[in-house]
Amino acid sequence: MPFPDIDPVLIQIGPFAIRWYALAYIAGLILGWRYVVALTQTPRIWPGAAPVTKLDVDDALLWAALGVIVGGRLGYVLVYNPAYFASHPLEIFYVWQGGMSFHGGAFGVLIAMIFFARSRGIAPLAMTDMVSAAAPIGLLFGRLANFINAELWGRVTDAPWGVIFPNGGPLPRHPSQLYEAALEGILLFFLLRLLTHRFDVLKKPGVVTGLFVAGYGAARTVVEFFREPDQQIGYLLGGWLTMGMVLSIPMVIVGVGLAWHFSNAKPAPAVATKRK
């Protein structure tokens, strides 16, 4: 099927343009923020009082946004295209042109939330658990934006739902962006939602963080079998191993290990004894 006629630019007035890509990040951050607020207002899922206040969540939004942008961009620059950006260093700051690493963005948010939690006297694991529970929302919108931008498309396919992308040649390809939106976004969100609201995993700080890391790594690894590798990198081994797999498989191992460790750890208070 042909690629739908979607303009990546929603509105443009002279040099000023509002792109779907930017709106997707904004929507993901705002909806994720609202979801974390909702978690803090659901007492039954916590071992006692919620570990943060609504004011804490409001203030953490800026930290999360910076973590996504800085981490995502640096991850792409350093891992996926270091040679190009070494020759064009100013383009590192051209984030509106695309080029973000979801691995880098996730790591950036994790670091930002740890520093934020420590600055407020909040147990870091409680903070990262809440952000991890909401992160699939941002992943969903980010992958939809990749599809609208006709980027990060999949390998050639004869499946009836294959899409002929504008820059992907004449043959239909897997809409791997939509596969990722479904797995990393929708499926992972509802799995974590089930665990937080039915199995009380938020009562054991660190478990949700580990499960998110493992879940994202597993979903990304599966989709890598359908996604075309980045042109400047290609396959790392044979015709199947990609950089995405190399980054994602360790996430599954580490995430499962963290979830197992924290699920068997002695209960710890979600809120530090002293708040600043």
Residue in 223, 258, 225, 252 with CA at minimum distance from that of residue 239: 225
DSSP code for 41: T
Report the alpha-carbon distance of residue 170 to residue 254 in Å, rounded. Answer: 40
Under 8 Å CB-to-CB from 56, ≥6 apart: which residues? 120, 122
Does residue 39 contact residue 50 with C-beta atoms inside 8 Å? yes
Q: Known binding site: residues? A: 143
**Alpha helix locations (H) across the chain?**
20-40, 54-75, 82-87, 102-120, 124-148, 176-180, 188-198, 207-224, 243-263
- Quote the CA–CA distance of 160 and 90 in Å, as a whole number: 42
3-class secondary-structure state, position 256: helix
Residue 76 phi, psi dihedral angles, 5° rounding: -65, -45
